[in-house]
Structure 1
Amino acid sequence: MAINIKLYELIKITDDFSDDRKVGSGGYGDVYKAVYRGEKIAVKLLNSTKEGIDDEQFKKELENHMKAQHPNIIRLVGYCNDERKVYIERKDGLSVFGRQIFRVLCFEYMPGGSLHTHISENSLGDEWRTHYNIIKGICEGLHHLHCGGKRPILHLDLKPANILLDMNMVPKLADFGLSRIYTSNLTHVPVDSPAGTWRYMAPELLKPGGELSAMADIFSLGVTIIDVIKGSQDFGDYDDNGTAEFIAKVPTQYCHDVKTVF
Protein backbone atom coordinates (compact mmCIF):
# COMPACT_ATOMS: atom_id res chain seq x y z
CA MET A 1 0.00 0.00 0.00
CA ALA A 2 1.42 3.38 -1.01
CA ILE A 3 2.07 5.80 1.81
CA ASN A 4 1.70 9.57 2.04
CA ILE A 5 5.26 10.86 2.14
CA LYS A 6 5.66 14.28 3.72
CA LEU A 7 7.01 17.10 1.57
CA TYR A 8 9.85 17.86 3.99
CA GLU A 9 11.00 14.24 3.67
CA LEU A 10 11.07 14.46 -0.13
CA ILE A 11 12.96 17.75 -0.01
CA LYS A 12 15.54 16.14 2.27
CA ILE A 13 16.14 12.93 0.28
CA THR A 14 16.31 14.77 -3.08
CA ASP A 15 18.44 17.65 -1.81
CA ASP A 16 15.51 19.96 -2.55
CA PHE A 17 15.00 18.38 -5.98
CA SER A 18 18.51 19.25 -7.09
CA ASP A 19 19.80 18.66 -10.60
CA ASP A 20 22.43 16.32 -9.17
CA ARG A 21 19.63 13.96 -8.18
CA LYS A 22 17.77 14.19 -11.49
CA VAL A 23 17.79 11.02 -13.61
CA GLY A 24 15.07 11.85 -16.13
CA SER A 25 12.97 14.65 -17.53
CA GLY A 26 9.91 14.94 -19.74
CA GLY A 27 6.96 17.09 -20.64
CA TYR A 28 5.00 16.00 -17.59
CA GLY A 29 7.75 16.39 -15.01
CA ASP A 30 11.18 15.41 -13.72
CA VAL A 31 12.39 12.23 -12.03
CA TYR A 32 14.91 12.14 -9.18
CA LYS A 33 16.79 9.24 -7.63
CA ALA A 34 16.63 9.04 -3.84
CA VAL A 35 16.69 6.66 -0.90
CA TYR A 36 13.64 6.43 1.36
CA ARG A 37 13.70 4.22 4.45
CA GLY A 38 16.57 2.22 3.02
CA GLU A 39 15.02 1.66 -0.42
CA LYS A 40 16.13 3.26 -3.67
CA ILE A 41 13.18 5.05 -5.24
CA ALA A 42 12.36 7.21 -8.26
CA VAL A 43 10.69 10.47 -7.26
CA LYS A 44 8.46 11.82 -10.05
CA LEU A 45 7.72 15.54 -9.57
CA LEU A 46 4.86 16.50 -11.88
CA ASN A 47 5.08 19.83 -13.68
CA SER A 48 2.42 21.95 -11.97
CA THR A 49 2.49 24.49 -14.81
CA LYS A 50 1.72 21.87 -17.48
CA GLU A 51 -1.79 22.22 -18.87
CA GLY A 52 -4.05 19.40 -17.70
CA ILE A 53 -1.98 18.45 -14.65
CA ASP A 54 -4.23 19.33 -11.73
CA ASP A 55 -5.54 17.62 -8.61
CA GLU A 56 -7.98 15.54 -10.65
CA GLN A 57 -5.31 14.32 -13.08
CA PHE A 58 -2.96 13.60 -10.20
CA LYS A 59 -5.64 11.67 -8.35
CA LYS A 60 -6.42 9.63 -11.46
CA GLU A 61 -2.82 8.55 -12.02
CA LEU A 62 -2.40 7.81 -8.31
CA GLU A 63 -5.53 5.64 -8.16
CA ASN A 64 -4.59 3.78 -11.35
CA HIS A 65 -1.21 2.85 -9.91
CA MET A 66 -2.77 1.79 -6.62
CA LYS A 67 -5.21 -0.50 -8.44
CA ALA A 68 -2.60 -2.04 -10.74
CA GLN A 69 -0.34 -4.31 -8.72
CA HIS A 70 1.56 -6.87 -10.80
CA PRO A 71 5.19 -8.03 -11.27
CA ASN A 72 5.23 -6.35 -14.69
CA ILE A 73 3.81 -3.03 -13.51
CA ILE A 74 5.94 -0.47 -11.70
CA ARG A 75 5.32 -0.52 -7.94
CA LEU A 76 4.07 2.68 -6.34
CA VAL A 77 5.91 3.39 -3.07
CA GLY A 78 4.30 6.64 -2.01
CA TYR A 79 2.87 9.99 -3.00
CA CYS A 80 2.69 13.63 -1.91
CA ASN A 81 0.34 16.48 -2.78
CA ASP A 82 1.43 19.55 -0.87
CA GLU A 83 2.60 23.13 -1.27
CA ARG A 84 4.98 25.61 0.30
CA LYS A 85 5.25 29.38 0.33
CA VAL A 86 8.01 30.89 -1.78
CA TYR A 87 9.34 34.43 -1.95
CA ILE A 88 8.80 35.88 -5.43
CA GLU A 89 10.31 39.08 -6.81
CA ARG A 90 7.96 40.50 -9.43
CA LYS A 91 9.00 42.44 -12.53
CA ASP A 92 7.41 45.61 -11.15
CA GLY A 93 9.84 45.56 -8.25
CA LEU A 94 7.36 44.37 -5.65
CA SER A 95 7.88 41.14 -3.73
CA VAL A 96 5.17 38.72 -2.66
CA PHE A 97 4.77 35.26 -1.18
CA GLY A 98 3.45 32.74 -3.68
CA ARG A 99 2.57 29.03 -3.63
CA GLN A 100 4.72 26.27 -5.06
CA ILE A 101 2.68 23.13 -5.63
CA PHE A 102 4.29 19.69 -5.27
CA ARG A 103 2.46 16.75 -6.81
CA VAL A 104 4.78 13.77 -6.44
CA LEU A 105 4.62 10.04 -7.15
CA CYS A 106 7.36 7.76 -5.80
CA PHE A 107 8.12 4.41 -7.44
CA GLU A 108 10.54 1.56 -7.01
CA TYR A 109 13.81 2.47 -8.68
CA MET A 110 14.51 0.57 -11.90
CA PRO A 111 18.28 0.33 -12.46
CA GLY A 112 17.86 -0.98 -16.01
CA GLY A 113 16.39 2.28 -17.25
CA SER A 114 13.89 2.48 -20.08
CA LEU A 115 13.39 -0.06 -22.84
CA HIS A 116 13.68 2.82 -25.31
CA THR A 117 17.27 3.47 -24.20
CA HIS A 118 18.23 -0.19 -24.62
CA ILE A 119 16.68 -0.32 -28.08
CA SER A 120 18.34 2.89 -29.27
CA GLU A 121 21.73 1.78 -27.87
CA ASN A 122 21.29 -1.80 -29.14
CA SER A 123 22.12 -3.09 -25.65
CA LEU A 124 19.53 -5.86 -25.35
CA GLY A 125 22.02 -8.37 -26.67
CA ASP A 126 21.58 -11.01 -29.36
CA GLU A 127 19.85 -13.69 -27.30
CA TRP A 128 16.29 -14.17 -28.49
CA ARG A 129 15.26 -15.39 -25.03
CA THR A 130 15.99 -11.92 -23.60
CA HIS A 131 13.84 -10.25 -26.25
CA TYR A 132 11.12 -12.86 -25.83
CA ASN A 133 10.99 -12.48 -22.04
CA ILE A 134 10.71 -8.73 -22.37
CA ILE A 135 7.85 -9.05 -24.86
CA LYS A 136 6.15 -11.67 -22.68
CA GLY A 137 6.43 -9.46 -19.58
CA ILE A 138 4.97 -6.45 -21.39
CA CYS A 139 2.04 -8.56 -22.58
CA GLU A 140 1.38 -9.90 -19.08
CA GLY A 141 1.49 -6.44 -17.55
CA LEU A 142 -0.93 -5.06 -20.14
CA HIS A 143 -3.22 -8.07 -19.72
CA HIS A 144 -3.39 -7.34 -15.99
CA LEU A 145 -4.38 -3.73 -16.69
CA HIS A 146 -7.16 -4.86 -19.02
CA CYS A 147 -8.38 -7.92 -17.14
CA GLY A 148 -6.88 -8.02 -13.65
CA GLY A 149 -9.31 -5.73 -11.84
CA LYS A 150 -13.01 -5.06 -11.50
CA ARG A 151 -12.80 -2.55 -14.33
CA PRO A 152 -10.27 -2.48 -17.16
CA ILE A 153 -7.55 0.16 -17.13
CA LEU A 154 -6.34 1.44 -20.49
CA HIS A 155 -2.73 2.62 -20.53
CA LEU A 156 -3.09 4.82 -23.65
CA ASP A 157 0.61 5.73 -23.82
CA LEU A 158 2.29 2.35 -24.14
CA LYS A 159 5.72 2.69 -25.75
CA PRO A 160 9.33 1.67 -25.00
CA ALA A 161 10.00 4.94 -23.15
CA ASN A 162 7.25 4.02 -20.66
CA ILE A 163 8.54 0.49 -20.06
CA LEU A 164 11.28 0.21 -17.43
CA LEU A 165 13.67 -2.68 -16.75
CA ASP A 166 14.99 -3.96 -13.45
CA MET A 167 18.47 -5.41 -12.90
CA ASN A 168 17.29 -8.75 -14.29
CA MET A 169 15.82 -7.16 -17.43
CA VAL A 170 12.26 -7.74 -16.21
CA PRO A 171 10.01 -5.15 -17.90
CA LYS A 172 7.52 -3.07 -15.92
CA LEU A 173 4.87 -0.76 -17.35
CA ALA A 174 5.07 2.82 -16.09
CA ASP A 175 3.57 6.28 -16.56
CA PHE A 176 -0.22 6.03 -16.38
CA GLY A 177 -0.73 9.77 -16.84
CA LEU A 178 -3.09 9.28 -19.78
CA SER A 179 -4.81 6.16 -18.48
CA ARG A 180 -8.54 5.72 -18.19
CA ILE A 181 -10.68 3.31 -16.24
CA TYR A 182 -13.74 1.96 -18.03
CA THR A 183 -16.76 3.15 -16.10
CA SER A 184 -19.40 1.39 -18.15
CA ASN A 185 -20.02 -1.83 -20.02
CA LEU A 186 -19.43 -0.16 -23.38
CA THR A 187 -16.70 -1.74 -25.47
CA HIS A 188 -16.03 1.57 -27.23
CA VAL A 189 -16.21 5.17 -25.99
CA PRO A 190 -15.74 8.42 -27.95
CA VAL A 191 -12.32 10.06 -27.91
CA ASP A 192 -12.59 13.61 -26.58
CA SER A 193 -8.97 14.80 -26.70
CA PRO A 194 -6.50 12.24 -28.08
CA ALA A 195 -3.00 12.49 -26.64
CA GLY A 196 0.12 10.38 -26.72
CA THR A 197 2.97 9.58 -29.09
CA TRP A 198 1.51 9.43 -32.58
CA ARG A 199 3.72 6.57 -33.82
CA TYR A 200 2.25 4.28 -31.16
CA MET A 201 -1.33 5.56 -31.43
CA ALA A 202 -4.01 3.47 -33.10
CA PRO A 203 -5.36 5.03 -36.33
CA GLU A 204 -8.85 5.44 -34.87
CA LEU A 205 -7.46 7.76 -32.20
CA LEU A 206 -6.03 10.08 -34.82
CA LYS A 207 -9.35 10.55 -36.65
CA PRO A 208 -12.02 13.09 -35.68
CA GLY A 209 -14.80 11.27 -33.89
CA GLY A 210 -12.66 8.20 -33.31
CA GLU A 211 -13.57 5.65 -30.66
CA LEU A 212 -11.43 4.50 -27.78
CA SER A 213 -11.20 0.84 -26.81
CA ALA A 214 -8.75 -1.70 -25.41
CA MET A 215 -7.60 -2.30 -28.98
CA ALA A 216 -5.80 1.06 -28.87
CA ASP A 217 -3.38 -0.45 -26.35
CA ILE A 218 -3.07 -3.58 -28.49
CA PHE A 219 -1.99 -1.45 -31.45
CA SER A 220 0.66 0.24 -29.28
CA LEU A 221 1.76 -3.17 -28.05
CA GLY A 222 2.21 -4.38 -31.62
CA VAL A 223 4.44 -1.44 -32.55
CA THR A 224 6.43 -1.92 -29.35
CA ILE A 225 6.95 -5.63 -30.08
CA ILE A 226 8.26 -4.77 -33.54
CA ASP A 227 10.66 -2.27 -31.95
CA VAL A 228 11.97 -4.94 -29.57
CA ILE A 229 12.47 -7.42 -32.42
CA LYS A 230 14.18 -5.03 -34.80
CA GLY A 231 16.34 -3.33 -32.16
CA SER A 232 18.22 -0.21 -33.21
CA GLN A 233 18.67 -1.30 -36.82
CA ASP A 234 17.39 1.03 -39.47
CA PHE A 235 14.45 -0.73 -41.10
CA GLY A 236 13.01 2.46 -42.51
CA ASP A 237 9.23 2.69 -42.50
CA TYR A 238 8.68 -1.01 -41.86
CA ASP A 239 4.91 -0.54 -41.87
CA ASP A 240 5.16 0.40 -45.55
CA ASN A 241 7.70 -2.21 -46.63
CA GLY A 242 5.58 -5.29 -46.18
CA THR A 243 5.82 -8.28 -43.87
CA ALA A 244 8.18 -10.39 -45.96
CA GLU A 245 10.80 -7.67 -46.27
CA PHE A 246 10.71 -6.94 -42.54
CA ILE A 247 11.09 -10.62 -41.59
CA ALA A 248 14.00 -10.95 -44.01
CA LYS A 249 15.82 -8.14 -42.17
CA VAL A 250 15.25 -9.48 -38.64
CA PRO A 251 18.61 -10.62 -37.16
CA THR A 252 19.26 -14.13 -38.45
CA GLN A 253 20.30 -15.52 -35.05
CA TYR A 254 16.68 -15.12 -33.89
CA CYS A 255 15.50 -17.63 -36.48
CA HIS A 256 17.27 -20.48 -34.66
CA ASP A 257 16.73 -19.27 -31.10
CA VAL A 258 13.01 -18.69 -31.50
CA LYS A 259 12.51 -22.43 -32.14
CA THR A 260 14.04 -23.28 -28.76
CA VAL A 261 11.71 -20.86 -26.98
CA PHE A 262 8.47 -21.93 -28.63
Structure 2
Amino acid sequence: MQQMLGPTRYAYTDITAVTSHFRDKLGQGGYGSVFKGVLSPGNVHVAVKMLDGNSNCNGEDFISEVSTIGRIHHVNVVRLVGFCPEEMRQALVYEYMPQGSLDKYIFSAEKNFSWDKLNEIALGIARGIDYLHQGCDMQILHFDIKPHNILLDNNFVPKVADFGLAKLYPRDNSFVPSNALRGTVGYIAPEMISRSFGVVSSNSDVDSFGMLLLEMAGGRRNADPNAANSSQAYYPAWVYGDA
Protein backbone atom coordinates (compact mmCIF):
# COMPACT_ATOMS: atom_id res chain seq x y z
CA MET A 1 0.00 0.00 0.00
CA GLN A 2 2.83 2.42 0.81
CA GLN A 3 4.41 1.77 -2.58
CA MET A 4 1.08 2.56 -4.25
CA LEU A 5 0.72 5.85 -2.38
CA GLY A 6 4.27 7.08 -2.75
CA PRO A 7 7.96 6.24 -2.35
CA THR A 8 9.12 3.69 0.19
CA ARG A 9 10.79 4.89 3.37
CA TYR A 10 14.11 3.16 4.10
CA ALA A 11 16.39 3.11 7.11
CA TYR A 12 20.05 3.90 6.57
CA THR A 13 20.89 0.24 7.22
CA ASP A 14 18.59 -0.65 4.29
CA ILE A 15 20.43 1.84 2.07
CA THR A 16 23.82 0.32 2.91
CA ALA A 17 22.45 -3.13 2.09
CA VAL A 18 20.87 -1.99 -1.19
CA THR A 19 24.17 -0.43 -2.32
CA SER A 20 26.37 -3.24 -0.92
CA HIS A 21 27.99 -0.66 1.38
CA PHE A 22 28.27 1.92 -1.41
CA ARG A 23 30.46 -0.31 -3.54
CA ASP A 24 29.52 0.90 -7.04
CA LYS A 25 29.74 4.69 -7.38
CA LEU A 26 28.01 6.09 -10.47
CA GLY A 27 28.91 9.74 -10.08
CA GLN A 28 29.35 12.83 -7.98
CA GLY A 29 27.23 15.98 -8.08
CA GLY A 30 26.83 19.22 -6.24
CA TYR A 31 24.26 17.70 -3.91
CA GLY A 32 25.89 14.36 -3.20
CA SER A 33 27.20 11.06 -4.54
CA VAL A 34 25.19 8.52 -6.55
CA PHE A 35 25.60 4.78 -6.12
CA LYS A 36 24.15 1.82 -7.98
CA GLY A 37 21.97 -0.48 -5.92
CA VAL A 38 19.67 -3.47 -6.16
CA LEU A 39 16.28 -3.79 -4.47
CA SER A 40 15.01 -7.20 -3.52
CA PRO A 41 12.81 -9.06 -4.16
CA GLY A 42 12.90 -8.71 -7.90
CA ASN A 43 16.52 -7.57 -8.27
CA VAL A 44 15.39 -4.12 -9.39
CA HIS A 45 18.34 -1.85 -10.21
CA VAL A 46 18.23 1.62 -8.68
CA ALA A 47 20.40 4.71 -8.36
CA VAL A 48 20.86 5.86 -4.76
CA LYS A 49 21.75 9.49 -4.24
CA MET A 50 23.30 10.24 -0.85
CA LEU A 51 22.73 13.92 -0.06
CA ASP A 52 25.55 15.92 1.46
CA GLY A 53 25.08 17.11 5.01
CA ASN A 54 24.78 20.71 3.81
CA SER A 55 21.85 19.89 1.50
CA ASN A 56 19.01 22.39 1.60
CA CYS A 57 16.52 19.57 1.98
CA ASN A 58 15.93 18.68 5.60
CA GLY A 59 13.26 17.76 8.12
CA GLU A 60 9.64 18.25 7.18
CA ASP A 61 10.51 20.04 3.92
CA PHE A 62 12.50 16.98 2.82
CA ILE A 63 9.57 14.64 3.53
CA SER A 64 7.07 16.99 1.88
CA GLU A 65 9.03 17.34 -1.34
CA VAL A 66 9.91 13.65 -1.46
CA SER A 67 6.28 12.59 -1.06
CA THR A 68 5.14 14.99 -3.78
CA ILE A 69 7.81 14.04 -6.32
CA GLY A 70 7.35 10.40 -5.36
CA ARG A 71 3.76 10.40 -6.63
CA ILE A 72 4.82 11.58 -10.08
CA HIS A 73 4.39 8.90 -12.72
CA HIS A 74 5.30 10.15 -16.16
CA VAL A 75 7.32 8.42 -18.84
CA ASN A 76 9.62 11.44 -19.17
CA VAL A 77 10.30 12.08 -15.47
CA VAL A 78 12.63 9.80 -13.52
CA ARG A 79 10.71 7.90 -10.83
CA LEU A 80 11.54 8.25 -7.16
CA VAL A 81 11.03 4.83 -5.60
CA GLY A 82 12.31 5.46 -2.07
CA PHE A 83 14.06 7.72 0.38
CA CYS A 84 15.93 7.73 3.68
CA PRO A 85 15.17 10.76 5.90
CA GLU A 86 17.70 10.12 8.66
CA GLU A 87 19.52 13.29 9.68
CA MET A 88 22.90 13.68 7.94
CA ARG A 89 22.17 10.43 6.07
CA GLN A 90 19.43 11.54 3.71
CA ALA A 91 19.11 9.49 0.55
CA LEU A 92 16.94 9.42 -2.55
CA VAL A 93 16.37 6.14 -4.39
CA TYR A 94 15.59 6.55 -8.09
CA GLU A 95 14.95 4.11 -10.91
CA TYR A 96 18.24 3.25 -12.60
CA MET A 97 18.84 4.68 -16.07
CA PRO A 98 21.29 2.31 -17.83
CA GLN A 99 22.21 4.63 -20.72
CA GLY A 100 23.36 7.44 -18.44
CA SER A 101 22.92 11.15 -19.07
CA LEU A 102 22.32 12.95 -22.35
CA ASP A 103 25.50 15.03 -22.19
CA LYS A 104 27.79 12.07 -22.85
CA TYR A 105 26.08 11.53 -26.22
CA ILE A 106 25.52 15.01 -27.61
CA PHE A 107 29.08 16.13 -26.79
CA SER A 108 30.66 12.99 -28.19
CA ALA A 109 33.11 13.22 -31.09
CA GLU A 110 31.01 10.78 -33.08
CA LYS A 111 27.33 11.59 -33.50
CA ASN A 112 25.45 8.74 -31.87
CA PHE A 113 21.97 10.09 -32.61
CA SER A 114 20.29 10.87 -35.90
CA TRP A 115 18.38 14.14 -36.26
CA ASP A 116 15.12 12.19 -35.98
CA LYS A 117 16.29 10.65 -32.72
CA LEU A 118 17.42 14.02 -31.37
CA ASN A 119 13.99 15.42 -32.23
CA GLU A 120 12.31 12.49 -30.46
CA ILE A 121 14.45 13.03 -27.36
CA ALA A 122 13.78 16.78 -27.38
CA LEU A 123 10.02 16.19 -27.53
CA GLY A 124 10.25 13.75 -24.63
CA ILE A 125 12.14 16.27 -22.49
CA ALA A 126 9.54 18.93 -23.34
CA ARG A 127 6.72 16.61 -22.27
CA GLY A 128 8.47 15.91 -18.97
CA ILE A 129 8.97 19.60 -18.21
CA ASP A 130 5.38 20.39 -19.20
CA TYR A 131 4.13 17.69 -16.83
CA LEU A 132 6.13 19.16 -13.93
CA HIS A 133 4.66 22.59 -14.65
CA GLN A 134 1.09 21.64 -15.55
CA GLY A 135 0.36 18.05 -14.61
CA CYS A 136 0.74 18.14 -10.81
CA ASP A 137 -1.31 19.67 -7.99
CA MET A 138 1.61 22.00 -7.31
CA GLN A 139 3.81 23.23 -10.12
CA ILE A 140 7.33 21.89 -9.81
CA LEU A 141 10.01 24.30 -11.00
CA HIS A 142 13.21 22.41 -11.71
CA PHE A 143 15.70 25.33 -11.97
CA ASP A 144 18.50 23.15 -13.39
CA ILE A 145 17.47 21.82 -16.80
CA LYS A 146 20.64 20.74 -18.62
CA PRO A 147 21.91 17.65 -20.51
CA HIS A 148 23.55 16.20 -17.39
CA ASN A 149 20.13 16.10 -15.70
CA ILE A 150 18.41 14.29 -18.56
CA LEU A 151 18.76 10.53 -18.12
CA LEU A 152 18.14 7.86 -20.76
CA ASP A 153 16.60 4.44 -20.26
CA ASN A 154 17.40 1.28 -22.23
CA ASN A 155 15.44 2.56 -25.23
CA PHE A 156 16.95 6.06 -24.98
CA VAL A 157 13.68 7.50 -23.70
CA PRO A 158 14.64 10.76 -21.91
CA LYS A 159 13.66 11.39 -18.30
CA VAL A 160 14.03 14.69 -16.44
CA ALA A 161 16.07 13.98 -13.29
CA ASP A 162 17.96 15.51 -10.38
CA PHE A 163 15.51 17.62 -8.43
CA GLY A 164 18.17 18.96 -6.07
CA LEU A 165 17.23 22.55 -6.91
CA ALA A 166 13.55 21.95 -7.58
CA LYS A 167 10.87 23.79 -5.64
CA LEU A 168 7.11 23.40 -5.33
CA TYR A 169 4.84 26.41 -5.87
CA PRO A 170 1.09 27.03 -5.97
CA ARG A 171 -0.21 27.62 -9.47
CA ASP A 172 -1.24 31.21 -8.69
CA ASN A 173 2.35 32.24 -7.94
CA SER A 174 3.89 34.03 -10.91
CA PHE A 175 7.29 34.43 -9.30
CA VAL A 176 9.41 32.84 -6.61
CA PRO A 177 11.45 34.28 -3.73
CA SER A 178 14.87 35.67 -4.59
CA ASN A 179 16.54 33.12 -2.31
CA ALA A 180 15.55 30.43 -4.83
CA LEU A 181 17.56 32.01 -7.63
CA ARG A 182 20.25 29.60 -8.81
CA GLY A 183 21.16 27.29 -11.63
CA THR A 184 24.06 26.36 -13.90
CA VAL A 185 26.09 28.74 -16.06
CA GLY A 186 25.19 28.24 -19.72
CA TYR A 187 21.57 27.32 -18.96
CA ILE A 188 20.37 29.76 -16.31
CA ALA A 189 17.60 32.13 -17.44
CA PRO A 190 18.36 35.89 -17.41
CA GLU A 191 15.62 36.62 -14.86
CA MET A 192 17.32 34.23 -12.46
CA ILE A 193 20.27 36.62 -12.40
CA SER A 194 18.45 39.96 -12.34
CA ARG A 195 14.80 40.90 -11.92
CA SER A 196 15.34 43.61 -14.55
CA PHE A 197 14.85 40.82 -17.10
CA GLY A 198 11.44 39.91 -15.66
CA VAL A 199 9.93 37.69 -13.00
CA VAL A 200 11.04 34.13 -12.28
CA SER A 201 8.42 31.57 -13.24
CA SER A 202 8.00 28.27 -15.06
CA ASN A 203 9.29 30.15 -18.12
CA SER A 204 12.73 30.06 -16.49
CA ASP A 205 12.80 26.28 -17.05
CA VAL A 206 11.63 26.82 -20.63
CA ASP A 207 14.55 29.21 -21.20
CA SER A 208 16.98 26.58 -19.88
CA PHE A 209 15.33 24.01 -22.15
CA GLY A 210 16.01 26.30 -25.12
CA MET A 211 19.68 26.44 -24.17
CA LEU A 212 19.70 22.65 -23.96
CA LEU A 213 18.17 22.44 -27.46
CA LEU A 214 20.93 24.69 -28.78
CA GLU A 215 23.54 22.28 -27.43
CA MET A 216 21.72 19.30 -28.91
CA ALA A 217 21.65 20.98 -32.32
CA GLY A 218 25.25 22.21 -32.23
CA GLY A 219 26.86 19.27 -30.46
CA ARG A 220 28.88 21.58 -28.21
CA ARG A 221 28.55 23.22 -24.81
CA ASN A 222 27.07 26.68 -24.49
CA ALA A 223 29.88 27.83 -22.20
CA ASP A 224 33.21 26.49 -23.45
CA PRO A 225 36.29 28.23 -22.02
CA ASN A 226 38.50 25.92 -24.12
CA ALA A 227 37.07 27.08 -27.45
CA ALA A 228 39.77 27.65 -30.10
CA ASN A 229 38.49 31.17 -30.69
CA SER A 230 37.61 33.29 -27.66
CA SER A 231 34.71 34.82 -29.59
CA GLN A 232 33.18 31.32 -29.74
CA ALA A 233 33.51 30.61 -26.01
CA TYR A 234 29.84 31.45 -25.42
CA TYR A 235 28.06 29.44 -28.09
CA PRO A 236 24.67 31.29 -28.09
CA ALA A 237 26.38 34.68 -28.66
CA TRP A 238 28.45 33.21 -31.49
CA VAL A 239 25.36 31.68 -33.15
CA TYR A 240 23.44 34.94 -32.72
CA GLY A 241 26.31 36.92 -34.24
CA ASP A 242 26.45 34.69 -37.32
CA ALA A 243 22.66 34.58 -37.76
TM-score in terms of structure 2 length: 0.84
1:65-92 deviation line (CA, Å, top 9, x unaligned) = 2243200000111111226xxxxxxxxx
Letter in 2 for 1:35: V
**Deviation of the 1:211 alpha carbon:** 2.7
Task: Give the direction of change, closer, same or farther, for the CA distance of 1:244–1:195 in structure 2 (3 Å limit).
Answer: closer
Contact map agreement 1:61 1:176 (CA 8 A) in 2? no
2:52 to 34, 44, 47: 47
1:140 to 127, 137, 140: 127
Please show how residues 97-116 of structure 1 align to structure 2 within 5 Å: 101-116=88-103
In the alignment of these two chains, the number of paired residues is: 226
1:213 paired residue number: 201
Letter in 1 for 2:19: T
Matches of 2:67 and 2:163 in 1, distance apart?
Answer: 10
1:62 paired residue number: 66
Task: Give the direction of change, closer, same or farther, for the CA distance of 1:230–1:56 in structure 2 (3 Å limit).
Answer: farther
Matches of 2:64 and 2:104 in 1, distance apart?
Answer: 28
Contact map agreement 2:146 2:209 (CA 8 A) in 1? yes
Matches of 1:168 and 1:211 in 2, distance apart?
Answer: 38
2:150 paired residue number: 163
1:19-43 deviation line (CA, Å, top 9, x unaligned) = xx11111121000001111100001
1:32 paired residue number: 35
Matches of 2:97 and 2:181 in 1, distance apart?
Answer: 29
Contact map agreement 1:61 1:177 (CA 8 A) in 2? no
Please show how residues 230-249 of structure 1 align to structure 2 within 5 Å: 230-232=218-220, 236-243=233-240, 245=242
Matches of 2:215 and 2:151 in 1, distance apart?
Answer: 15
SS at match of 2:92: strand
SS at match of 1:189: coil
Matches of 1:199 and 1:57 in 2, distance apart?
Answer: 29
Matches of 1:14 and 1:191 in 2, distance apart?
Answer: 37
1:158-182 deviation line (CA, Å, top 9, x unaligned) = 1111110011111000111211222
Identify the structure with the greater strand proportion: 1
Matches of 2:27 and 2:65 in 1, distance apart?
Answer: 19
Letter in 2 for 1:24: G
Task: Give the direction of change, closer, same or farther, for the CA distance of 1:12–1:242 in structure 2 (3 Å limit).
Answer: closer
1:227 to 204, 209, 215: 215
- Output the aligned Cα RMSD: 2.3
1:252 paired residue number: none
User: Greater CA radius of gyration, 1 or 2?
Assistant: 1
What 5-or-longer segments of structure 1 have no aligned partner? 84-100, 247-262
Letter in 1 for 2:103: H
SS at match of 2:67: helix
Contact map agreement 2:7 2:83 (CA 8 A) in 1? yes
What 5-or-longer segments of structure 2 have no aligned partner? 1-5, 222-226
1:175-230 deviation line (CA, Å, top 9, x unaligned) = 11211222251323342242210221111111167631111001000001111111
Higher relative contact order (CA 8 A, sep 6+): 1
2:118 to 131, 135, 143: 131
